Structure 1
Amino acid sequence: MPRFTVSRRALGALAVAPLASPAFAQPAPIRIGELNSYSRMAAFAVPYRNAMQLAQDAINAAGGVMGGRRIEFVFRDDGSTPGDAVRVAEELLTRENVSFLAGTFLSNVGLAVADFANQRKRLFLATEPLTDAITMAQGNRYTWRVRPSTYMQTRMLVEAIRGRSVKRWAIVAPNYEYGQSAAANFKRLLPSAIPDAEIVAEQFPALGRVDAGATVGALAQSRPDGIFNVLFGPDLTAFVREGNTRGLFERRTVVSLLTGEPEYLIPLGEETPEGWIVTGYPWEQIEAPPAHKAFIDAYRARFNDTPRKGSLLGYVTVQIIATLLNKANTLETEALVDALADLRTDSIVGPVVMRGLDHQGTLGTWVGETTLRGRQGAMKNIRYADGANYLFPEAEVLAARPRA
């Protein structure tokens, strides 16, 4: 089965070297439509786009795909709403003549584009939306997801608190598909780790409009032993600041999705709480495989910045796309979809397989604890949680996914 890798030499050289001008006519590039929340979720989406461009250039410099064709991403903002995203997806297919679609960030937006792809019978590689529905209850033949889902990452965190004597739990999550899905997964999985645990409070503030004072006050009033947090971005920053001020996190176990990602740790700065159990991306502590170190060096050289979790996801996504194109050796949609089933890519963080059963990738993430190093938040006690170990059970997938 074809596997795509980029050499360390190619990664490093592309940080400074332009592509050579061809001496003969080249076949038309393969255009791929990428739509994302570049304005509203810039902290994640812009580093993601940067890394996609880095990977695109590395692949093209190494000879391209399908026997010498270059790949070319066409980037568009999805407006962060389902309606705008569907309109942009349509424009990418009809005006830009892209071969297929990739991207989206927010879960409700990803679901809308997945439905559009199914109606149009065009491939959609969902990269960032985390909702389980995209590969389960609302899954379809044409939609596949790269990033570990809400269920997968929640399961990683619940595993990390197994056996603790933390009985009373409160939940705080943004009030849209991702937050609701995460809360449901936590309530479902918690009894397997702490059999006599109970949920004593739930807070669902609107995305981007958290009233931190009211939210922290309500959680404190419930007197929980532990808190499951799903807030991210500016909502997380406001919540942590108010929680620190009121002592909400003192002597309590806090489990938090995504908080260890640089996109969200950097804004916290000196306010980073100590000892939260989180999923994240401690890029500076990852020593293997060597291709990851080469990626870090190339990214920093080209963009004069450190990578974010979005950067890693963007690069791995392009590696998967290159592997797919080389395996299928065609741009015909049905052949591309068939080729994705159980496709293995040797990525910069190790093997990633697109499971044919539910169209979910096995890309993992890192689990650890938050800590303060100097004046900046970081992770400690890290381990890589391979996504292959946290997928939905096969029987559950077969029961949940619509039959073709």
Structure 2
Amino acid sequence: MRKTVLVLGLALLFATSGFAADTIKLGGMLPLSGRAADLGITCKQGAELAVKEINAKGGVLGKKLELLMADSKANVQELVSLSKRYIQKDEVNFLFGVVSSAGSLAVSEVAKQEKVIFMDTVGSTDTLTKEKWNRYTFRSGTCNSQEANSLSLYAAKKYPKLTKFYNLGPDYEYGRTMWALFQAKTKEANPKAEFIGEQWPKLFIPDYTTYINAILAAKPDAVFCSLWGGDLVAFIKQAKPYGIFEKMKWIIATGGDITVAKALGGDMPTGMIVDQRYYFHWPESERNKAFVKAYMADYNDYPSAWAAEGYDGVYFLAEAVKKAGSLDTDKVIAALEGLTIDAPRGKATLRKEDHQLSSDFMVGETVFVKEYPFAIVGNTEVFTADRVLYSIEEWKKAQEGNK
């Protein structure tokens, strides 16, 4: 009897070990509830599509990808707990996801301590890959400098008479960094620029009346706004009856987000200067068309930028493991550094030095066209990474204070 139990126990152990050995685990953490849910859910869907495509072709090194996913609730403490659970209990090979910049910084610190690779998808603060850089963190999405600098250059070129700027941004890492970057680049492009006020609402507040009235009273030429997701939708709905979008120019980071455009429908103001980190209608490449078609087939919707960042993040990891020929952390890091993939957004490279995504970036203005029931981005201009992404020289200088 004891021999039978021993044999069964060993069989179970081998079966369990075999299952674990046959999968490559990604520990996903994204907000799947609350105002940030649209970002998290579509990023999750993009990642799931990539996993499906890769596994359909046999996986990587004979192993299938397995995407674990948990609701981070856009909460930093929750992200730290999830990261540690994934590593210590689920024994994931990679940490994956995150939407907020503050959360990305927290997860990156866990990755550094535990020596586990973290693929950040949406959290975009420059600090992650610059001042707080570590060798275990990579980013498949664009960063704040690409976004703020592109918006600034577009506004300065198209609307040189705008000189008085006001800020409306979320009161945390992302909003503060975006405003600082926008001010610096705008002053460089237009020495006459003035920055006459700033407002810092907390994330997910229900009422923006105080902020709307403050902006109207200040009478700026333009407002730089870095509210995002559900907060941006709520603000626009509350502000539109005041006629505020006709009284001044609006420059909105991630204002071209399709999830925002769909939520607002015909209420989306036109003529706002906006960006987004990926567009389903640009570039008009076969790779992008194939991605949009596959995403539409699975989810009956157009992919958001967040979906593309999740999708690309999985492909970067899969290609790196394939190139490394191993799941050894040091070998995968070496393979990720400088890796280029053919992404829906076009050629996408993880820079060797700082692990930041380098790719083209497009800015334009909100317009309605007959093909879609929601606003898209028109009157566009493309900015190459070398024009708007912080330089490797800047990165090297930042490392002097990075312990």
Q: Same fold (TM over 0.5)?
A: yes
Per the TM alignment, residue 30 of structure 1 is displaced from its structure 2 partner at its CA by: 1.1
* Offset of residue 237 of structure 1: 2.1
Aligned to 1:11: none
Instruction: Tell me if the contact between 2:366 and 2:377 (Cα under 8 Å) persists in the aligned partners.
Output: yes
Question: How many Å apart are 1:27 and its aligned residue?
Answer: 5.8
2:28 to 7, 27, 34: 34
Q: Quick check: 1:205–1:211 contact (8 Å CA) kept in 2? A: no
User: Aligned partners of 1:217 and 1:27: how far apart in 2?
Assistant: 59
**Greater fraction of residues in helix:** 2
Aligned 8 A contact 2:278 2:308 in 1: no
Q: Secondary structure at the match of 1:324?
A: helix
**Structure 2 residue aligned with 1:236:** 232
Q: Is 1:123 aligned to 2:114, yes or no?
A: no
Aligned counterpart, 1:398: 396
Q: 2:375 is matched by which residue type in structure 1?
A: G
Alignment partner for residue 80 of structure 1, among 68, 74, 77? 74
> Where in structure 2 are the equivalents of 1:134-149 lying within 5 Å?
134-149=128-143
Amino acid at match of 1:230: S
State the structure with more CA Rg: 2
The 2-side partners of 1:117 and 1:287 are apart by: 34
Q: Name the SS of the counterpart of 1:180 in structure 2.
A: helix
Q: 16, 39, 51: which is aligned to 2:46?
A: 51
Q: Could you tell me whether the CA contact under 8 Å between 2:146 and 2:361 is conserved in 1?
A: no
How far 1:381 sits from its partner (Å)?
Answer: 1.8
* Farther-moved stretch of structure 1 (139-148 vs 195-204): 139-148
Work out the CA distance in 2 between the residues paired with 1:27 and 1:281: 35
Residue number among 48, 60, 64 corresponding to 1:70 in the alignment:
64
Conservation of the 8 A alpha-carbon contact between 1:47 and 1:310:
yes
What is the rounded CA distance, in whole Å, between the counterparts of 2:367 and 2:25 in structure 1?
42
Alignment of 1:283-322 (within 5 A): 283=279, 285-286=281-282, 288-322=284-318
Distance 1:113 1:284, change over 3 A: closer
Task: Give me the whole-angstrom Cα distance separating, in 2, the residues matched to 1:245 and 1:361.
Answer: 39
1:266 maps onto 2:254 in alignment: no
Question: Do the aligned partners of 1:165 and 1:194 also contact (CA within 8 Å) in 2?
Answer: no
1:382 to 365, 380, 383: 380
Please list every run of 5 or more consecutive structure 1 residues that lacks an aligned counterpart in the other structure. Answer: 1-24
One-letter amino acid of the counterpart of residue 267, structure 2: E
Distance 1:287 1:124, change over 3 A: closer
Quote the residue 1:4 is aligned against: none
- Structure 2 unaligned regions, length at least 5: 1-18
Residue range with higher mean Cα deviation, 277-286 or 127-136: 277-286
| Counterparts in 2 of 1:388 and 1:328: CA distance versus 1, 3 Å | farther
Q: Shift of the alpha carbon at 1:400?
A: 0.9
Distance 1:189 1:26 in 2: 49
2:254 aligned with 1:223: no
Query: Which amino acid in structure 2 is aligned with residue 200 of structure 1?
Result: I
RMSD: 2.1
**2:117 partner letter:** L
Q: Which residue of 2 aligns with 1:10?
A: none
Kindly state the Cα deviation for residue 194 of structure 1 after the two structures are TM-superposed.
1.4
Report whether the alignment pairs 1:93 with 2:91: no
Q: Among the aligned pairs, what percent are the same residue?
A: 28
Asked if 1:370 is matched to 2:349, the reply is no
